[in-house]
Structure 1
Amino acid sequence: MTALDPFTDALDCPLYVVTATAAGERAGCLVGFASQCSIRPARFIVWLSKANRTYRVAARADRLAVHLLGHDQDHLARLFGGATGDMTDKFTRTAWHPGPGGVPVLDEAPVWVVGRVQSRFDGGDHCGFLLAPEAAQHPGGDGVRLMFLKDGPDISPGHPAD
């Protein structure tokens, strides 16, 4: 237990799937650490575990796609959170299309943003990727019910969390 645990235990953050492509490799993983971090200019930061294959691909990528999952998309959360790209080609198991710069955009994700990587920050066991948004999709209205950490499925991670 750390001094931060009582604070973070109170949070209920959205679950994200982050995808990347570099040098012909595709990767994607489930992420819980991400946030808008600037209004002008618009910026979003996503934190990737250094243990993940997605981090290794993202470290060479120009862009990342960040997807919000619908409340009922357990199958995508399990695929991108419970399988490691070291052993599974996740993109043969779900529909996707190339977004800006070829980054994989998941067809089923109701809300997503593609951003150009502006900077990378060492945060300990995670690396922060500061993104400048280039393209986004949101269906509009209040009809999208998102998946949050506390209502996400129980998933054994493809790689240890720490």
Structure 2
Amino acid sequence: MTPHDTAHSGFETVVDALDYPMFVVTTTDGTRRAGCLIGFAAQCSISPPRFMVWLSKRNHTFQVATGASTVAVHRLDASATGLAELFGSHTGFDTDKFTRCRWRPGPGGVPLLEDCPGWFAGEILSRHDTGDHLGLLLRPIAATTATELGPQLGFRAVRDLPPGNEP
């Protein structure tokens, strides 16, 4: 086994043990709406506040986000497994997910999920090619006023969902 193989194997061991928080990202390009379940996301600056989300390049939401200026990031509570399944196991290429959930228009027309009390909308400041995912650097422009959020939904709770888009 080469040092590269050992590093790859060790990396896989470490990341397999993580329980990433899960989010639903929604957006619009003015014509189409889209949304998907994501596990790659993080706050990346405190002052000024910045957040980064990564979208799979195979995803319908990725295609819509290329023409979008704003996205909404919805924090999923542990009880939101139905939304996780809807936005993670169905593809916008053939399903209008928004006919299957409650939502309202937010900043720039971005869909806000009514059953997700924890959300913020962010202006896309820049896009970053990071491999099979595209990173969107966000500047928060609007957010929920909810003060109490339930326990967070983690990756381990949804890891067995069939993907809406094949990797």
Q: TM-score, normalised by structure 1?
A: 0.94
Unaligned stretches of 5+ residues in structure 1: none
Q: Aligned-pair RMSD on alpha carbons? A: 1.4
Structure 1 residue 41, shift from structure 2 partner: 0.8
- Residue 91 of structure 2: aligned partner: 84
Pairing 1:144–2:150 present = yes
- Residue 23 of structure 1: aligned partner: 30
Structure 1 residue 73, shift from structure 2 partner: 1.3
Distance 1:76 1:153, change over 3 A: farther
> 1 or 2, which has the higher helix percentage?
2
Structure 1 residue 55, shift from structure 2 partner: 0.2
- Residue 104 of structure 1: aligned partner: 111
Letter in 1 for 2:112: V
Aligned mates of 1:102, 1:122 — CA distance in 2: 26
Stretch moving more, 69-78 or 111-120:
69-78
Stretch moving more, 132-141 or 83-92:
132-141
The alignment of Structure 1 onto Structure 2 pairs a total of residues equal to 160
Letter in 2 for 1:67: H
Aligned mates of 1:132, 1:110 — CA distance in 2: 20
- Percent of counterpart pairs with the same letter? 49
Aligned mates of 1:110, 1:37 — CA distance in 2: 22
Structure 1 residue 13, shift from structure 2 partner: 1.2
The structure having more radius of gyration, on CA atoms, is 2
Letter in 2 for 1:82: S
Letter in 1 for 2:129: D
Secondary structure of 1:47's counterpart equals: strand
- Residue 164 of structure 2: aligned partner: 158
Unaligned stretches of 5+ residues in structure 2: none
Deviation >6 Å, runs of 4+: none
Task: Note if contact 2:30-2:109 (Cα within 8 Å) is conserved in structure 1.
Answer: no
Stretch moving more, 110-119 or 7-16:
7-16
Aligned mates of 1:76, 1:119 — CA distance in 2: 28
